[in-house]
Every structure is written in structure tokens, then in C-alpha cells.
A and B are shown apart, each in its own frame.
Chain A
Amino acid sequence: MREADFQQLVDRQYASLFRFALSLSKSGAEAADLTQQTFFLWAAKGHQLRDRTKTKSWLFTTLYREFLSRRRHEVRFPHVELDNANDDDIAVSPNVNALDSTAVVEALRELDEPFRAVVTLFYLEQFSYQEIANMLDVPIGTVMSRLSRGKAQLRRRLLSKEETAARKIVSIAQEKGTGSHG
């Protein structure tokens, strides 16, 4: 691949890949490292991909596999139990517009791991359920199920963040009120 083509590919995809990595990993540094490693792998092995229309999927799939392999070698995580507490869609919707991007990423990171990649790919790049199934190598039904349950979990997490933020505002206001009278 010519240097100019590589640069063009980086310019087109690195921000999205970083955001995907950020939702999966523990820190911004790890996300940057994963993004970097994905492009290095592309530089070394990308020429083996014959269908160039699949470059974007290749990058996201590779990043996800890198993430999984790191997890396997780092801490031996206990088996992830899916949160079955309440899969019903909640009646109250969080006001996402009132939250900043950091809070949304935090909420995504708090999702059970099997939901996280599916939900992030759906939102970030608006990949179809079929594309996500191919990338993560899971059946379409599983993708739909994870989207349905993952989104419900995301709503709950965001709602809880919204409530926490509201409580903070109230307590700050109360502190200020107390201070002005004291």
C-alpha cells in the first residue's frame, strides 16, 4: 500500500476506531494503543485482503480481536454474567442531550462486555446488524438480542448518571445557599 493511501485510510478511520476502542478498554492510553496496533497490523498484513470494500470492517474486527486477546492475557477475568436484573425497556428515557460525551462513554464501558461491542458499533459507525454479525462472528439473532438488551442497559446507566448529576447540582446549590447565609 502506498504511503499516501495509508495516510488517507488513517485520516478516514482513526477517530472512529479510537472511539470504538475507548468504549471497550479501560483508559484513553489503552484505546490509543489498540488503535495504533490495528493500523500497524493493517500496514503489515492489509495487502492480504483482496476485497478492498471490506477494509473498514477489517479494521474494526481486528481492533476487537486485539482487545479480546489482550484481555485473555492480562487479568484472568471471571466469566461475565449477563445482567438479567431487568431486561424490560424502562419507561423513563434519559435525557442524553443533558449529558456530555464522557458520561456516555462511561455508560458504555459499564455495559456487560458481550453487549458493549455490539452497541458501540451500532451507534458509532451505524453498522447494520448483518455487518456487526460478520465482524464479531456471531449469529444475527444474537446481535439483535444484544442490541435490544444492551440498549435497555445503556438507558438505565444513563438515567442513573443523569440522576447523579442532578443530585450534585442540587447539593452544590444548597452549599452555595448555606454559604451566602453564613
Chain B
Amino acid sequence: MDNREAQFVLSAYRPGGQDAADPQFSEALAQARRDPALERWFTDSIAFDKAVTERLCAIGVPAGLRESILAGGKVSHPSRWTKPFVKWAIAAALVLTAIAGSLVLRGPAKPRLAAWQTNALSQVSALVEGHAKFDAQSRKASELVAWLRENRASAVQNLPPSLERLESLGCKTFFWEGQPVSVICFQRGEGGLIHLVATNASAPFNRTGKSKPKFVQQGNWATVTWRDGATVYMLALEGSRDQLRSYLL
């Protein structure tokens, strides 16, 4: 091993000394002990690495980021149904019921939101609570739709007519599994907010079919999801399904 090879290997040696026993470095370390020039280079390299590490670890974190993560995390947790243990326990209970030969109940399963939708609600919460910023702000939703089309590969094509008359606050695009998901927030006439979320129907995570709108109540959120052409929309507000229904007319 010549000095150039040794330098190449020793570049991956961590300044804290955690790699002292790693055989990958033993030959290069032995070479550094034998060769004063290489040893000088290595000492200088470790000092440089330590100084850079110290500088990086001194970078401050924005105020409010922690709180924003914690607030969003609360609504991002999967529903109990999706947790493996609960899923198996429920499956076992259903099988036992069937074996017992008693009545087979075929009640509709409680509808739930997909992970991308739950995440969209987290993003909305962060926006509403001021922990995240809009990408663009305007009182005219048509301007936001145009801005999204131009800037962020948004899937938003058409606004539901009932939203066109509302005053908008702003929009934001985030990404879920690499696909853009856009949110536009509106001020409701009777007070409160309503949010339109849109993504491409072709996104791999999307399971929304061409059937009629699907209502889901998740915690305080009332949501309705539907597909229109190449776009999947979700409308969400903090309130009841009835309050939401009026915006679909």
C-alpha cells in the first residue's frame, strides 16, 4: 500500500477513533505510523475533521420546529386498525366467530384514510398552527391554482364550484413517496377553514377508484375523497360530515 492508497482509506477513518479496531484500516494505520509524512497528513486530517464536526454540531435549529413535528406527529399515527397486532387480533376474533357457526355479520368496515391523506392532514395542521409556511399566498384561489401548475407540478386541475366563491389563504406542495401532493386552504363563510388536497390518480399509493365520493371522519376531521379524471381530491374541515357535504353541491 502506498501513501496515496493509505490516504484514500484513512479518509473514511472517523475522528473519534471508533474505527481503531476495524481491520479495513489496520494496514493504512500501520503505514501512517511508519511514514512521518503520512502521519503528519493523518494528524492534520483528523484535526480538520474534528473542527468541521464541531462547527456543524453548533448549527442552531429553528424555533418551533420541534413543536411543529410533535403536533403533526399526533395526526400522522396510523389508525389502530393498521397496527399488526391489532390487525391479527381482529382477524382471529372474526375467524372464531365464523367457526362458532353463529351469525355472520357483514357490516361495512369503518372507512379510514390512506397514509398519504393522514400525512396531508398533518401538513394542514402545521400550516394552520403556523408551524409551516405556505409556498404561495393569495385571496384568489384561481391564482394559487395557476401558481401551482407553473411551479410545483401540482395535480390540481379544477376547483369544486363551491370553493371558487371562497377566499383562499395559500397553498403548499409536499411530497409523499416521491409524488407531489398539493393543499389549498380556504376561509369558510361561516368561520373556520376548509382545505382542498390533490394528487395524481396515477400515484402508486393511490387506491381511490372512480366510485362516488367517500366520506371518512378521522378524529376532528371530516373528509371526503373522490376522483375526477387524472386527479384525486380530498376536501377536509374540522367539523362534521354534514358541514362538509354542503361544499360538494
User: Which residues on A are within 8 Å of B, measured CB to CB?
Assistant: 1, 3, 6-7, 10-11, 14-15, 18-19, 22-23, 28-29, 32-33, 35-37, 39-45, 47, 65-66, 69-70, 72-74, 89, 93-94, 96-97, 99-102, 104-105, 108, 120, 122-124, 126, 128-129, 143-145, 147-148, 151, 154-155
Chain B residue, CB-CB nearest to A108: B56
Known contacts being A35-B69, A144-B11, is A126 close to B56, with CB within 8 Å?
Answer: no
CB-defined contacts of A74 to chain B, threshold 8 Å: 152-153
Are A124 and B66 within 8 A (Cβ)?
no
Q: Which 7 A-B pairs have the closest CB atoms?
A: A69-B178, A43-B76, A96-B51, A148-B11, A129-B12, A104-B55, A43-B73
Are B61 and A104 within 8 A (Cβ)?
no
Task: Give Cα A40–Cα B73 distance, bound, in whole angstroms.
Answer: 5
Are B133 and A39 within 8 A (Cβ)?
no
Task: Give Cα A98–Cα B170 distance, bound, in whole angstroms.
Answer: 43
CB-defined contacts of A96 to chain B, threshold 8 Å: 48, 51-52, 55
Are A14 and B61 within 8 A (Cβ)?
yes
Are A45 and B115 within 8 A (Cβ)?
yes
CB distance from A111 to the nearest CB of B (A): 12
Known contacts being A10-B66, A32-B62, A36-B132, is A44 close to B76, with CB within 8 Å?
Answer: yes
CB-defined contacts of A94 to chain B, threshold 8 Å: 48
CB-defined contacts of A97 to chain B, threshold 8 Å: 51
B247 interface hit (Cβ, 8 Å): no
Are B62 and A28 within 8 A (Cβ)?
yes
